[in-house]
């Protein structure tokens, strides 16, 4: 079937049987691609019938579908002309793992972060009304994403506004792991109820047309029905806040889904269609391990095993050290916004269930909660991915920093994350946190330094940010590990010609560059003496680059004294960081040079430019942006070092 599908029009003409076959083909196709490229498997397998039904009933791009998080949009991409390109999923210059308006007019809104769809869809619906158009607007949101504050804010607004909009609640009882919270408890009551449909809509239309008494009859019937509904479906939350609730409907019964979607088209005002799906549907291994196959690297289809051996990563090291510290200090608590496994907290959750809080996809609340807990004497540790920390900037400022509360904020996935692309790249955190008074900002050069920094942060009794990257250590073994002291950098190598200042994962690169420059030196000198012995020309490159390497450790407070001393000595400065060029390490060093009136300084900075960084392999992206070892070495060679001092 898949071969025949090039656009939604090709889907619309299929009969039920053909659609069943199409669903199977799509599942196999996605399975093959994700097993090869990695990606969000289980969520996509869960929405195959739903997506076929949506494209059977609605007409894109006139009608709008906003996919919440957008990780489940692979089926939509297949059905909207990107079937072949999907083979390049998440690769550099390939198809993105999330909806992109730049990729297709069928993607009406970019997503990647959770809980934004209802706001965006409501905005589109309101704009439609102002423009006098009549298209349909649909938000597809998971039960996990519904726990996010922004989704609830939008429901509140949409229900009251009476704007015509359909919210499809894709309920699989899972966020990445098991969904939690009061809303989930409420949904579980609805799940077991019989489908509540508006099958009498046409009857309602006819009665309404009866002169004089028609409309009042409809109103009375509606009141009675609402009363009955209150009896069968306990606490009609959605109806009470202004939505018409339809469902629950079997999300793998395509024909039934189509029937319900057609009903939503008939109705006015905000509608919530409750769809029950199974995460990983059709691939048994993912059905049984939906959390593992939420997002996966390349794997073996036969047994579900990862193709790459799993090496320790920063999240794991963080989690292990936290458990060790928590055994000694029972005031330590951990909070996660639905990312227990991803942030390395699984063992903590097992060992300290009473000190572990999974609060749903609610980063703002996570930090507000941490502030309250810190105020009353506990030490909250809150690992959140860098790009999701963007969500809770004001909580960091208003609730934590302004009151100088001892919350340890761990910024996981800092820097470039690669395949997930621009919504997930963690390049902005250093820039936006550096602005905030009272924050101490650290980044470790390796696992050991992360452990030391975590211990330091827990004892600091002040708000602290520790940022670390996705994945493992750089390919460099550090021997030196000085004790962490507030605002103190670490000199890893002394030199006179050039100061290389780096932070976090880039420290390993800095030292490798410095070693390479010296080795090159030795080689050149050897070559020189051979040439001299042979009586050949002496005019070889005689420059000798001895770089001083400073591991900044603290972006804030910056170790101004140590850095200043080195800069005055070498007069040549290189900064390297895995964040944006604006307001990070580069800016901090330039400010220092200006404030201290240091003269005749050569400075070159390596960081990401002021733009959103697309998806691709981390190393590929580093090369593109010239932040890789080789490029920096080449640049240094051009720096005319040593300069006249």
Ligand X SMILES: Cc1ncc(C[n+]2csc(CCOP(=O)(O)OP(=O)(O)O)c2C)c(N)n1
Catalytic residue IDs: 279, 363, 391
Shortest Å distance, C-beta 47 to ligand X: 7
Query: Is residue 287 a contact partner of residue 442, using CB atoms and an 8 Å limit?
Result: no
Shortest Å distance, C-beta 181 to ligand X: 12
Pick the closer one to ligand X by CB: 116 or 587: 116
Q: Give the one residue of 37, 104, 117, 172 binding ligand X; rule: CB under 6 A.
A: 172
Shortest Å distance, C-beta 211 to ligand X: 47
Q: Give the one residue of 244, 279, 413, 509 binding ligand X; rule: CB under 6 A.
A: 279
The window from 212-220, 333-341, 523-531, 592-600 that contacts ligand X (CB under 6 A) reads 333-341
Angle of CA points 546, 576, 564, to nearest 5°? 60
Pick the closer one to ligand X by CB: 125 or 417: 417
Instruction: Give the torsion sign (CA, 388, 393, 395, 399).
Output: positive
Q: How far apart are CA 72 and CA 112, in angstroms?
A: 10
The backbone torsions φ and ψ at residue 468, rounded to the nearest 5 degrees and listed phi first, read: -150, 155
Pick the closer one to ligand X by CB: 314 or 388: 388
The alpha-carbon radius of gyration of the chain (Å, integer) is 29
The window from 142-150, 199-207, 348-356, 455-463 that contacts ligand X (CB under 6 A) reads 142-150
Query: Is residue 521 a contact partner of residue 595, using CB atoms and an 8 Å limit?
Result: no
Helix 48-57 and helix 254-266, axial crossing angle in degrees, nearest 10: 40
| Number of shown-chain residues binding ligand X (CB under 6 A) | 25
Q: Give the one residue of 33, 125, 151, 176 binding ligand X; rule: CB under 6 A.
A: 176
Q: Is 113 in the site for ligand X (CB under 6 A)?
A: yes
Q: Give the one residue of 37, 114, 163, 587 binding ligand X; rule: CB under 6 A.
A: 114
Output the residue with the shortest Cβ distance to ligand X. Answer: 142
What residues does 64 pair with on adjacent strands?
Answer: 137
Pick the closer one to ligand X by CB: 7 or 289: 289
Pick the closer one to ligand X by CB: 119 or 338: 338
The binding track of 46-85 with respect to ligand X, each residue x by CB under 6 A or -, is x----------------------x-xx-------------
The maximal CA–CA distance of the chain, rounded, in angstroms, is 115
The window from 138-146, 402-410, 548-556, 577-585 that contacts ligand X (CB under 6 A) reads 138-146
Instruction: Give the torsion sign (CA, 476, 477, 479, 485).
Output: positive
Pick the closer one to ligand X by CB: 313 or 449: 313
What residues does 493 pair with on adjacent strands?
Answer: 549
Query: Site residues for ligand X, window 390-449 (CB under 6 A)?
Result: 391
The binding track of 7-46 with respect to ligand X, each residue x by CB under 6 A or -, is ------------------------------------x--x
The backbone torsions φ and ψ at residue 96, rounded to the nearest 5 degrees and listed phi first, read: -75, 155
Query: In the chain, what is the straight-line distance between the N-terminal and C-terminal CA atoms, in Å?
Result: 73
Pick the closer one to ligand X by CB: 113 or 128: 113
Q: Give the one residue of 338, 386, 427, 572 binding ligand X; rule: CB under 6 A.
A: 338
Instruction: State how far the alpha carbon of 545 is from the alpha carbons of 522, 563, 572, in Å.
Output: 10, 18, 11
Q: Is 144 in the site for ligand X (CB under 6 A)?
A: yes
Shortest Å distance, C-beta 239 to ligand X: 22
DSSP-derived letter for residue 61 is T
Residues 6+ apart with CB under 8 A from 60: 8, 80, 106, 108
Q: Is 510 in the site for ligand X (CB under 6 A)?
A: no
Structure tokens at 571: 């007069």
Using a 10 angstrom Cβ sphere, with 0-12 exposed, 13-18 middle and 19 or more buried, the burial of residue 24 is middle
Structure tokens at 34: 């994700």
Instruction: State how far the alpha carbon of 525 is from the alpha carbons of 285, 493, 530, 532, in Å.
Output: 60, 21, 9, 10
Query: Site residues for ligand X, window 349-378 (CB under 6 A)?
Result: 361, 363
Pick the closer one to ligand X by CB: 169 or 466: 169
Structure tokens at 73: 């949009």
Shortest Å distance, C-beta 144 to ligand X: 2
Q: How far apart are CA 516 and CA 633, in angstroms?
A: 8
Pick the closer one to ligand X by CB: 313 or 363: 363
Shortest Å distance, C-beta 571 to ligand X: 45
Q: How far apart are CA 293 and CA 260, in angstroms?
A: 29
Q: How far apart are CA 441 and CA 430, in angstroms?
A: 8
Q: How far apart are CA 572 and CA 566, in angstroms?
A: 9
The window from 174-182, 248-256, 397-405, 442-450 that contacts ligand X (CB under 6 A) reads 174-182
Q: Is 142 in the site for ligand X (CB under 6 A)?
A: yes
Q: Is 292 in the site for ligand X (CB under 6 A)?
A: no
Shortest Å distance, C-beta 81 to ligand X: 24
Point out which residues bind ligand X (CB under 6 A): 43, 46, 69, 71-72, 113-114, 142-145, 170, 172, 174-176, 279, 294, 337-339, 361, 363, 388, 391
């Amino acid at each position: 079937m898949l071969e025949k599908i090039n656009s939604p029009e090709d889907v619309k003409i299929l009969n039920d049987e053909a659609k069943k076959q199409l669903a199977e083909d799509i599942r196999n196709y996605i399975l093959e691609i994700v097993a090869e490229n990695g990606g969000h498997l289980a969520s996509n397998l869960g929405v195959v019938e739903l997506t076929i039904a949506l494209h059977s009933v609605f007409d894109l791009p006139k009608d709008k579908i906003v996919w919440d998080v957008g990780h489940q949009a692979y089926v939509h991409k297949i059905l909207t002309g990107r079937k072949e390109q999907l083979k390049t999923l998440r690769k550099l210059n390939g198809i993105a793992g999330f909806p992109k308006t730049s990729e297709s007019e069928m993607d009406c809104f970019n997503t990647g972060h959770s809980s934004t769809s209802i706001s965006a869809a409501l905005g589109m619906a309101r704009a439609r009304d102002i423009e006098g158009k009549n298209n349909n607007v649909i938000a597809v949101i998971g039960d996990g994403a519904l726990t996010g504050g922004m989704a609830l804010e939008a429901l509140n607004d949409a229900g009251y506004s009476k704007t015509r909009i359909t919210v499809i609640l894709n309920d699989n009882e899972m966020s990445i792991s098991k969904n939690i919270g009061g809303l989930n408890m409420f949904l579980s009551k609805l799940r077991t109820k019989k489908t509540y449909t508006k099958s009498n809509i046409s009857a309602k239309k006819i009665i309404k047309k009866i002169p004089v008494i028609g409309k009042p009859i409809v109103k009375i019937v509606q009141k009675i029905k609402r009363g009955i509904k209150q009896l069968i479906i306990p606490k009609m939350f959605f109806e009470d806040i202004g939505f018409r609730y339809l469902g629950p409907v079997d999300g793998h019964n395509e024909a039934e889904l189509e029937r319900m979607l057609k009903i939503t088209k008939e109705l006015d005002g905000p509608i919530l269609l409750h769809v029950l799906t199974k995460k990983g549907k059709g691939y048994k291994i993912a059905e049984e391990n939906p959390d593992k196959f939420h997002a996966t690297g390349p794997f073996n289809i036969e047994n579900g095993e990862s193709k790459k051996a799993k090496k320790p990563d920063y999240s794991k090291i963080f989690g292990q050290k936290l458990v060790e510290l928590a055994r000694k200090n029972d005031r330590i608590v951990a909070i996660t916004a639905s990312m227990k496994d991803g942030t390395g907290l699984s063992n903590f959750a097992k060992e300290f269930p009473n000190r572990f809080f999974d609060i749903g996809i609610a980063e703002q609340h996570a930090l507000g909660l941490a502030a309250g807990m810190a105020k009353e004497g506990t030490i909250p540790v809150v690992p959140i991915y860098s790009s999701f920390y963007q969500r809770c900037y004001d909580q960091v400022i208003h609730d934590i920093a302004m009151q100088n509360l001892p919350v340890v904020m761990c910024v996981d996935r800092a820097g470039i994350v690669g395949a997930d692309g621009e919504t997930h790249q963690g390049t902005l955190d250093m820039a936006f946190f550096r602005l905030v008074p009272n924050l101490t900002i650290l980044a470790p050069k390796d696992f050991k330094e992360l452990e030391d920094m975590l211990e330091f942060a827990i004892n600091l009794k002040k708000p602290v940010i520790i940022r670390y990257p996705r994945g493992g250590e750089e390919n460099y073994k550090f021997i030196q590990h000085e004790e962490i002291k507030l605002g103190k950098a670490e000199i890893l190598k002394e030199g006179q010609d050039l100061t290389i200042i780096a932070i976090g994962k880039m420290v390993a690169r800095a030292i490798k560059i410095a070693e390479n420059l010296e080795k090159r030196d030795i080689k050149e000198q050897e070559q020189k003496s051979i040439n001299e012995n042979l009586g050949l020309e002496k005019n070889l490159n005689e420059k000798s680059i001895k770089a001083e390497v400073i591991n900044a450790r603290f972006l804030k407070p910056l170790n101004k004294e140590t850095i200043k001393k080195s800069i005055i000595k070498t007069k040549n400065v290189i900064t390297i960081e895995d964040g944006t060029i604006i307001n990070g390490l580069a800016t901090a060093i330039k400010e220092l040079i200006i404030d201290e009136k240091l003269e005749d300084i050569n400075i070159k900075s390596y960081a990401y430019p002021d733009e959103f960084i697309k998806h691709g392999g981390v190393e590929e992206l580093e090369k593109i942006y010239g932040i890789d070892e080789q490029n920096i070495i080449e640049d240094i060679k051009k720096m005319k070092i040593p300069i006249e001092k």
